[in-house]
Structure 1
């Protein structure tokens, strides 16, 4: 790993742990709750302990003045949930455009096992090669998605994260298998830091139990969007997740630190 990539990885993490809040969902879902006033949401989650936020390049002017010195990741593909196929992620930017937007890293989504896998594999490989040349880390969002694939199957998830390493990524995001024991072989299948997606939003306790289980299974952190930015108090849930990631506390203590315990 070159010095630039290593330095920028430190900008999007804390002691090799990653609390990333993706907010690129405006492409997929439109101006939903938490993204209308994205400036306020970014300020809240980064004040609460997020290591980095992630958006598409066009939102960059709304990011920098509100991110409290956190890192910034630019996402390079996307799709909409009203188009013909949400799994068909198309290029939305280049490594160079991400740099011009002030990015510390880039990210790219690939659906491993889908009909779009071949093209997305080629594009991810192109992104990692160019990003490495320019000293920029790549976060690969590698999901196990396709016909007859269970998205929480540990074997499929392990294949997805290993593919990300083989194609040159520096950090990989994937789905969660459901518990720490089954997630351990997913993390063991690669030398990359593995971060989990948030999935559908549950209760605060369910969210934190998922984070705690993933960390116990060897994860290096989270990249959680709607569970954080659509929370009634994004800063509070971020603080609770940060307590697990960075201070290794249990769920009850994390709830307390976030001010989320029920009276």
Structure 2
């Protein structure tokens, strides 16, 4: 890892752990709750302790004035829920463009096991090659997702995160397998930091229990979107997640610290 990549990684995490709030869902889902006034949401989640926020490149001008010195990640592919195949993620930007809009890292989504896996493998390889030239960290969102694939199967998730490392990713995001015991296999499948996706909101206690389980299994944090930015109090839930990720808090302690009901 070169010096630039190492320095930029420090901007999107804290002491090797990561609380990232992805808000690129305007492409996937449209202007849903929390994204219309994205400026206020960015301000809230970064005040709550998010290390970095993530958007597509066109939102950069709305991010920088409101991120309270947090890191910024630009996502480089996407698809929509109203298109023919949501798993068919297409390129939406480049590492060079991310540099121009002030990013500290880039991210790329790949669905391992999908019909589009071959093209996405090629694209991720090209992203990591370009990123190396710029000293830009790559967050690979590596999911086990496709026909006949169990998206929470630890063996499949382990394959996905190892694939991401093999292709040059610096940090790997994947789904949570559902419990700490099985997720330990996922974190042990790669030498890179593994962070979990939030998925659909399930309530504060369940959200935090998943984060706690992932951390207990050797995880390095979360990249959690809707469970944070669509929360009635984004700052409070970010505070609670940060307490688990960065302060090793229990679920109850995190809820209490954030002033959230159980």
Corresponding residue number in structure 2 for 1:228: 228
Corresponding residue number in structure 2 for 1:164: 164
Corresponding residue number in structure 2 for 1:36: 36
Query: Cα deviation per residue 1:76-102 (whole Å; 9 max; x = unaligned)?
Result: 000010000000000000000011110
Unpaired runs of 5+ residues, structure 1, are none
How many corresponding residue pairs?
262
Q: CA deviation at 1:200?
A: 1.1
In 1, distance between residues paired with 2:209 and 2:102? 34
2:84 is paired with a residue whose SS is coil
Query: Cα deviation per residue 1:168-191 (whole Å; 9 max; x = unaligned)?
Result: 000000000001000001000000
TM-score, scaled relative to structure 2: 0.99
In 2, distance between residues paired with 1:202 and 1:232? 13
TM-score, scaled relative to structure 1: 0.99
Query: Cα deviation per residue 1:179-224 (whole Å; 9 max; x = unaligned)?
Result: 1000001000000000000011011101000100110011100000
Corresponding residue number in structure 2 for 1:90: 90
In 2, distance between residues paired with 1:100 and 1:226? 27
1:1-263 matches, within 5 Å, as 1-261=1-261
Unpaired runs of 5+ residues, structure 2, are none
Q: CA deviation at 1:133?
A: 1.1
| Runs of 4+ residues over 3 Å off in structure 1 | none
What is the Cα-based RMSD across aligned positions, in Å?
0.5
Q: Report the more deviating stretch, 240-249 or 253-262.
A: 253-262
Query: Cα deviation per residue 1:95-139 (whole Å; 9 max; x = unaligned)?
Result: 000111100000000000001000000000000011011100000
2:81 is paired with a residue whose SS is coil
In 2, distance between residues paired with 1:58 and 1:199? 24
Q: CA deviation at 1:147?
A: 1.2
Q: CA deviation at 1:51?
A: 0.1
Q: CA deviation at 1:261?
A: 2.5
In 1, distance between residues paired with 2:189 and 2:32? 36
